[in-house]
Chain A
Amino acid sequence: MTNMTAFQQQCYRVVTDSNLSPKQKSNNLALLAENHLPYVELDLETKHALEQRVICDMYEGHAPYKPRYVLPDYQLYLKQGSVWLELEPANDFDDALNMLTIIYHHVPSVTGMPVYLGRLDELLLPYVGSLTENELYARLKRFWIMLDRNLPDAFMHANIGPSDNIICRLLLRIDRELKQVAPNLTFFYDEKITPESLLTVAIACICETGKPHIANYNLIAKDFDKMGFGVVSCYNSLPVAGGGSTLSRINLKEVALRSEDRHDFLTNMLPYYCRLQLNLIKERSQFLYEKSNFFTNSFLVNEGLIKPERFAPMFGIFAMAEAVNILQEKAHLSGRYGQDEQADLLALEISQQLADFVNQHTVTYGWRNKAMLHAQSGISIDHGLTPGVRIPYGEEPDPVSHIMSVFVHHKYYSSGISDILTIDETIKNNQAALLKICLAAFELGMREFTANISGNDLVRVTGYMVRLSDIAKFKQQGSRTNTTVLGSEAASDSSGFLHRQPRVISHEQNMGHS
């Protein structure tokens, strides 16, 4: 050990870790190697802000060589087959499932595994043919088990709905039966298309598994084009046939700490750090587009499954709650974010200003030449920092008041925002109540509706799922699911995740060895 360089010691710790699988070790080693390279070139101010972690690059790596989130056009793939993968177009249901199984292994992302599995019902419906419900059930169930076991990453995300169809209903049923951590599941709700009976089924599933997460389809679709969008990883809405190139985030708490008062925050400090974050985003995307050769040699690009111009850099923020509370204290005001009208209005002003900033600045490698504003839901090392614009754990009011104080932010965060409602398990005896507040939330303008039901083993941590029982086992045995290690890291948080109501913890990237 003593003769090793610092880099070798880091690698050695990964290699000899008793809780990581060989695959998990090689992912961590790759990240260490990437981070042994010099960081993409940054000006001094941006570099300083990054070092101080006022802005954060999500530990994506020093030299981005793959986009953060990739959303291939799987429909096109099934229709045309793939020259690169030597596959004919799909003829039947089994072909389609087999082809998806194959391509998922070739879709890169920040986690090394696909974060987007496609709109599965829409993708598979053309191939149902004469298969009966029972025959479809058996195939989809095997497929669902395969996803969880072969691609054990809870950032992997499938989309279904908004139409009422047999695949959508079967996947809801199977997901509820299997109670797997992966894949995560988003159900698109469209008031014009989705019958209440189907939404009721989705609500019943939430009561047992916390899944699906429900997206307000029409509202989100307005921010995209006809090609559509997917919800991937933890509540990221991104263009299909594109994705998210990179994600950086501003720690609003750090900005508030550096501000004299509210006025200084809004007129000087926030615009300053917004500019630095934009610099960071520009430099990172430039490396990805111009140096890494990702977009010049990927079969996904060559076969038209993704298009470079459909990738958006994500302009993230987090710790709104802490920022507002600090600014309130600096003004000698006691009202806290999520509980006080004045504090909430300040938060709203900050969101408006962030949205204006993002809309007013063009970026070379952006979707429609813009970045997209994102309320980032946290990473495992965020202690005492609340994800996105959420209300801090333990301070949330009842679910109705909760929704009423946060929905106003949702329209600004076009690439995703999430609030997770913690609901008492008595709701299981009265699911109509959950249905009602979901519909009301959408009526008010929430982009997404997500609930954790207390008492369940499967719970949402930031945006992905963990089994509490897995976390308990992890320390002894390790886990075959990549994200359990993150849940475990988060669970040791001083806020005492496991000792209180199931609450939301945050992180998106394996920080254990970086």
Chain B
Amino acid sequence: MNKTWAIVNKILPFSCVDGPGNRLVIFLQGCNFHCLNCHNPYTIQLCQNCGQCVGNCPNLALSFDKGKTVWQSEQCKQCDTCIQICPNQSSPMTYRYSVEEMLTVIRKYLPFLNGITFSGGEATLQLPFIQQLFAQIKSTADLKHLTCFIDSNGYLPRQGWQKVIPLMDGAMIDLKAWDNHVHKYLTGRDNQRVKDSINYLAARNQLYEVRLLLIPEQTDLLFNVAKIAEFLNLLPHKPRIRINAFHSHGVTGNAKNWHSATQRDVENFATQLSKYGLNKLTLPAVYLT
């Protein structure tokens, strides 16, 4: 598929946590993981155009036209009623951007940007769009200084990474659990491909950061420090390691009752990792409890 447009959930012109410097972050809609702890569950599914949300919008920002749900952002007050009603837990509040339109957005914020980052959802589900946008950036005089990053769950197969590696500057990959069965419980998918992605990207010096999300009593990261450290220590071009602390704000279902990771949990984990010689660690600046 040679896609020249993307389904975008949100664009932020200021982010200091998605790669080096200030980044424009493009959150693409749709994800192939179904993490129990997802903080943005409405970014997982694409809108199925069932139209159930249309009549319930208090601001008349939604309508139904030729079998499609249409969202008018000018009318919308971001009350999220549509998301709460959606049987699919999806959001009709998405935008379609062509590559050209996206370049216009990037140019609007250009003086402020060190680069751009695709995030999600799962960004790599719309890889052809990413490829085209990165290619445009890298071949355009006023844009080519921008660094191009992808924030991913790591499920993209090697053939996918091969397409985009020549055009990008780095990736951030989440490793959500060490043991496959824990990973499958948390995300609905195996983690072998995630580990493969980490290895593959690191071998090509394209792995900017590995992200480890600490969820007390749910994830197995704490019990596998030695194995995780061995895995990460074997990588060439050692990545930064960011430890994220789970908190229950914004999650749905059972995860709402899960315990937040405390500063103590995170520091304990970091201390253990550093005992194995891992030192490019980034810890949360803030802990929400």
Contact = CB atoms under 8 A, between A and B. Distances in A.
A440 B22 CA distance: 11
B216 interface: no
Nearest to A444: B111
Interface residues of A, number: 24
B141 interface: no
A437 interface: yes
Given A400-B109, A400-B112, A436-B113, A430 B286 contact: no
Choose among A430, A437, A443 the residue with the greatest number of B CB atoms under 10 Å from its CB. Answer: A430
Interface in A404-450: 404, 424-430, 432-437, 439-440, 443-444
* Chain A interface SS verdict (over half): helix
Nearest to B111: A440
Interface string B6-33: 0000001111110011110000000000
Contacts, number: 63
Interface residues of B, number: 19
A210 B22 CA distance: 19
A426 B286 CA distance: 7
A437 B112 contact: yes
Contacts of B22: 400, 432-434, 436-437
Given A430-B16, A430-B17, A425 B286 contact: yes
A219 to B, nearest CB: 15
A399 interface: yes
B233 interface: no
Contacts of B114: 432-433, 436
A433 B111 CA distance: 12
B289 interface: no
Contact of A398 (B12, B113, B285): B12
A425 B285 CA distance: 6
B282 interface: yes
Interface in B38-87: none
A433 B285 contact: no
Contact of B13 (A398, A424, A428, A434): A398
Contacts of A399: 14
Interface majority SS on B: helix, strand, loop or mixed?
Answer: loop
Contact of B111 (A426, A429, A432, A443): A443
A288 to B, nearest CB: 43
A401 B20 contact: no
B21 A433 contact: yes
Contacts of B109: 400, 404
B20 A432 contact: yes
Nearest to A402: B14
B286 A440 contact: no
A455 interface: yes
A336 to B, nearest CB: 13
A72 to B, nearest CB: 38
A407 to B, nearest CB: 11
A332 to B, nearest CB: 16
Contacts of A434: 16, 22
Nearest to A431: B16
B20 A424 contact: no
A432 B21 contact: yes
A400 B114 CA distance: 13
Contacts of B282: 429
B98 to A, nearest CB: 23
A349 to B, nearest CB: 23
Nearest to B13: A400
Contacts of B112: 400, 403, 436-437, 440
Contacts of A428: 285
Interface string B256-289: 0000000000000000000000000010111000
Nearest to A425: B285
Nearest to A403: B112
A424 B13 CA distance: 14
Pick from A425, A437, A440 the residue with the most CB of B within 10 Å: A437
Interface of A: 398-401, 403-404, 424-430, 432-437, 439-440, 443-444, 455
Interface of B: 12-17, 20-23, 109, 111-114, 282, 284-286
Q: Which 10 A-B pairs have the closest CB atoms?
A: A440-B111, A433-B16, A433-B22, A400-B13, A430-B16, A440-B112, A432-B21, A400-B14, A398-B14, A425-B285
7 contacts: A426-B16, A426-B286, A429-B17, A430-B16, A433-B15, A436-B21, A440-B112
Given A424-B286, A426-B16, 10 more contacts: A399-B14, A401-B14, A426-B284, A428-B285, A432-B22, A432-B114, A433-B23, A435-B21, A436-B112, A437-B14
